[in-house]
């Protein structure tokens, strides 16, 4: 088995593995990597319909990865906690109180929803 065959099998395995994921972000990332590997593999073999298919899959994955909100938590050096929320057009920062009570947790969730709702509004999507 040549190295190019191994690349093709690895790309195919990544695509299958991506479909077994329960989290959509992980599915999209693994699927994107597998599709890009298969673009290279099929391009080397000059199987243009498969190159086209995997290019389209890659574009779809990138499109949805760019649109997906992302939440990332930080523990700062002074003991405070902060959440970074990725939205279009960039990142928003929210301080997370410690310890967090049920009322503060509800306030944080409302703030996150408000940022996401503002980003997902029809006027914002039309402006993109």
pLDDT tens readout for residues 39-82:
999 999 999 999 999 999 999 999 988 877 677 777 888 878 88
29 with 77, same domain: the answer is: no
pLDDT tens digit sequence for 14-30: 999 999 999 888 999 99
40 with 82, same domain: the answer is: no
Peptide bond into 103 cis (omega under 30): no
| pTM, rounded to two decimals | 0.62
Q: What is the mean predicted confidence (pLDDT) over 73-102?
A: 77
Task: Give me the sheet containing 91-96, strands edge to edge.
Answer: 70-75, 81-86, 91-96
Q: Could you count the other beta carbons within 10 Å of the beta carbon of residue 31?
A: 23
44 with 83, same domain: the answer is: no
104 phi, psi to nearest 5 deg: -70, -35
117 with 74, same domain: the answer is: yes
In this structure, are residues 86 and 69 in contact, taking their beta carbons and an 8 Å threshold? yes
93 with 112, same domain: the answer is: yes
79 with 110, same domain: the answer is: yes
**Last residue within a domain, chosen from 67, 99, 115:** 67
Domain range holding 43?
3-67
What are the tokens at 105? 């947790």
């Amino acid at each position: 088995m040549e190295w190019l065959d191994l690349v093709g099998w690895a790309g195919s395995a990544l695509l299958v593995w991506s479909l077994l994921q329960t989290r959509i972000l992980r599915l999209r990332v693994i699927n994107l990597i597998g599709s890009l590997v298969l673009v290279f593999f099929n391009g080397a073999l000059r199987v243009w319909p498969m190159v086209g298919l995997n290019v389209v899959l890659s574009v779809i994955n990138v499109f949805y990865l760019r649109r997906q909100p992302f939440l990332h938590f930080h523990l700062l050096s002074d003991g405070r906690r902060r959440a970074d929320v990725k939205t279009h057009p960039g990142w928003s920062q929210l301080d997370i109180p410690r310890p967090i009570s049920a009322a503060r947790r509800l306030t944080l969730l409302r703030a996150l929803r408000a940022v996401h709702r503002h980003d997902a509004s029809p006027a914002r999507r039309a402006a993109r």
